[in-house]
Amino acid sequence: MKNKISDVSIQINSFEINNILQLEAFRIQFLGSKSEIKNLFGELKTVPNEDKKSIGKELNDLRIQAEEKYAEHKEKLENNTTSKEAIDYSKPGENFSVGSHHPISLVRREIIEIFNRIGFVVSEGPEIEDDWHNFSALNFPPEHPARDMQDTFFIEKGENEMALRTHTSSVQVRVMENQKPPIRTISPGRVYRNEAISARAHCFFHQVEGLYIDKNVSFADLKQTLLYFAKEMFGEKAQIRLRPSYFPFTEPSAEVDVSCSICNAKGCNVCKYTGWLEILGCGMVDPNVLEAAGIDSKTYTGYAFGMGIERITQLKYKVNDLRLYSENDVRFLKQFTPSI
* Domains of the chain from N-terminus onward: 2-85 (no CATH), 103-336 (3.30.930.10)
Q: What is the pLDDT of residue 150?
A: 60
Is 0.75 topped by the overall pTM? no
Phi, psi of 332, rounded to the nearest 5 degrees: -75, -45
pLDDT averaged over consecutive 10-residue blocks of the chain (340 residues)? 81 86 87 82 80 82 87 83 61 77 92 96 94 90 74 79 91 94 96 85 91 96 96 91 93 92 74 86 95 94 95 84 86 72
106-111: long-range contacts, CB 8 A cutoff, minimum separation 24: 106/313, 106/336, 107/309, 107/312, 107/313, 107/316, 108/188, 108/206, 108/208, 108/309, 110/233, 111/186, 111/188, 111/208, 111/229, 111/233, 111/307, 111/309, 111/312
Q: What is the pLDDT of residue 277?
A: 87
Q: What is the pLDDT of residue 338?
A: 58
Q: What is the pLDDT of residue 340?
A: 43
Q: Which residues contact 41 (CB under 8 A, 6 or more apart)?
A: 59
